[in-house]
Amino acid sequence: MTIDVVVLAAGQGSRMKSQLPKVLHPIAGKPMLAHVLDSAKAVQADKLHVVIGHGAEKVEQAFSADDTISWALQAEQKGTGHAVMMALENLAPSGTTLILYGDVPLTKPETLQSLIDLANDQQLGLLTVTMQDSTGYGRIVRNESGKVTSIVEHKDASPEQLEIKEVNTGILAVPTAKLHAWLPTLSNDNAQGEYYLTDIIAMAVESGLTVETLQPEFEQETYGVNNRQQQAELERWYQGRLVEELMVQGVTVYDPARLDIRPTRSNGKVSVGKDVVIDVNVILEGDVELGDGVVIGPNCVIKNAKLAAGTRVEAFSHIDDAVVAESCVIGPYARLRPGANLANQAKVGNFCEVKKANIGEGSKVNHLTYIGDAEIGKDVNIGAGTITCNYDGVNKFKTEIADGAFIGSNSSLVAPVQVGKNATVAAGSTVTKAVADEELAVARGKQRNISGWQRPVKESK
């Protein structure tokens, strides 16, 4: 059976007060539309159709790398039925069509699969939810037998119908052949002057089809985002779910309300070992792997990184696209940039930055240091204020420091340059030539002490 998914993403989102199309606003660091598309892909849809309108170019550009999407333009917004019509010619002649919304981001794939399973040639699957306050939602109208007969929009509902608590989410699975037959016959004779997709429910009933309903595990799966408040509310609920999953796996989270997990566009995932501890105000973004006993201090950002067992990250450290081996210590106030790789028991301390460099086993970069484009061996000590001068304004060059070397404080290593095994660089040196094994390099101006020096004094006014 062919499964088509149509995602309606043409709305303006004026209440967001933003130049960014509504469906591109993020939940957990990922555009709402990306959440919807990922869920659609999880049910193994044969084709994805996205209907765009306001900000169409921005939306299409944001997903330009995804060649699985078929785009359809709704130049004028004339209702949900009209929006689906824009994609109709690209739908398969038969099978099932699942209709989703680009601003309803958190419907679980399991819910969507159950909905698809309800649909067949003689039956529709409709996702509904029961709300205490159903204001603004289309009401599910049932007959005496409890069968769905129609959906009545809030503005068209009678006083009796307004008392109904079961409401339409707009998410449904429909026999595609029926969709081809019904959509061209929709009317806009209603209070809004729009073509309502919900009218096909009554058409289905008139045609003798059954409308089966399904309710999601969580009401929030059906929530749409129309303003910043709703976006924040959904963000917090989703974060709560993600953090709860980590705690179920045994992670100690000091304050679940102050840990954010952001999967990003790449469908990132946080993987954890045993006895992981995460302090407050931490952000885990993208693909993050935390080994047994890893401890993350407060106010840290870990992005697309792997931290092996026993590693400790102290407060205010940022780790981005780096690999850290076992029992390392990072921070506080350290920054590991893309390409940083630390071997077992390495240390990168406070106010240090490491980029595209390998730090060998047991080596220490403790204070106020920049290491970039470098290969550092085992048991190397890098003194405070050391800089690998890797960039000449055009090209990058490599610094190589062999096992056991000692680099004195406030040294500048001008790449390309090599420092040999067990060599020493004296503090304050600017090294521009290779230092052989076990040599001492001293590269600094000769000290002069001037007697009788008179400090400047302020002139009286």
Per-position b or e across 56-80, b if 16+ CB within 10 A of its CB: beebeebbeeeeebebbebeeebbb
Outline where 89-198 has alpha helix (H).
109-118, 176-182
Per the listing, tokens 């109208």 go with: 141
Strands 30-31 and 26-27: antiparallel
Query: Which among 54, 154, 180, 367 is annotated as catalytic?
Result: 367
R_g of the chain, CA atoms, integer Å: 31
Q: Are 389 and 415 in contact (CB under 8 A)?
A: yes
Q: How far apart are CA 271 and CA 410, in angstroms?
A: 39
- Collapsing DSSP to helix, strand or coil, 256 comes out as helix
Q: How far apart are the first and last CA of the chain?
A: 94
* pLDDT score for 177: 96
The residues that bridge with 396 in the sheet, in sequence order, are 391
Q: Domains in the chain, please, with CATH?
A: 3-222 (3.90.550.10), 228-441 (2.160.10.10)
In the structure encoding, which two tokens stand for residue 189, read together? 């004779």
Is 449 exposed, middle or buried (CB count within 10 Å of its CB: 0-12, 13-18, 19+)?
A: exposed
Cα distances from 33 to residues 8, 222, 287, in angstroms, run 9, 14, 20
Q: How far apart are CA 252 and CA 139, in angstroms?
A: 43
- Residues near 9 by beta carbon (within 8 Å), at least 6 away in sequence: 21, 23, 33, 50, 51, 52, 53, 59, 101, 102, 103
- Residues near 429 by beta carbon (within 8 Å), at least 6 away in sequence: 408, 411, 412, 441, 442, 443, 444
* pLDDT score for 461: 75
Per the annotation, the verdict on 367 as an active-site residue is yes
Per the listing, tokens 């303003």 go with: 227
* pLDDT score for 12: 87
Q: How far apart are CA 251 and CA 148, in angstroms?
A: 45
Q: What is the dihedral of CA 248, 250, 253, 254, to 10 degrees?
A: 120
Per the listing, tokens 């299409």 go with: 60
* E runs forming strands in 46-121: 47-52, 69-73, 96-101
Q: Are 52 and 72 in contact (CB under 8 A)?
A: yes
| Local confidence pLDDT in tens for the 461 residues of the chain | 899 999 999 998 999 999 999 999 999 999 999 999 999 999 999 999 999 999 999 999 999 999 999 999 999 989 999 999 999 999 999 999 999 999 999 999 999 999 999 999 999 999 999 998 888 899 999 999 999 999 998 988 999 999 999 999 999 999 999 999 999 999 998 878 899 898 999 999 999 999 999 999 999 999 999 999 999 999 999 999 999 999 999 999 999 999 999 998 767 899 999 999 999 999 999 999 999 999 999 999 999 999 999 999 999 999 999 999 999 999 999 999 999 999 999 999 999 999 999 999 999 999 999 999 999 999 999 999 999 999 999 999 999 999 999 999 999 999 999 999 999 999 999 999 999 999 999 999 888 999 998 988 888 87
* pLDDT score for 191: 79
Q: How far apart are CA 396 and CA 373, in angstroms?
A: 7
In the structure encoding, which two tokens stand for residue 179, read together? 């969709």
Q: How far apart are CA 219 and CA 253, in angstroms?
A: 26
Q: Say how many C-beta atoms besides its own lie within 10 A of residue 178's C-beta.
A: 20
* pLDDT score for 14: 93
Question: pTM for the complete prediction?
Answer: 0.91
- Residues near 140 by beta carbon (within 8 Å), at least 6 away in sequence: 126, 128, 148, 151, 164, 166, 167, 168, 213
Question: Nearest Cα to 5, choosing from 78, 107, 79?
Answer: 107
Q: Are 369 and 382 in contact (CB under 8 A)?
A: yes
Q: Are 134 and 164 in contact (CB under 8 A)?
A: yes
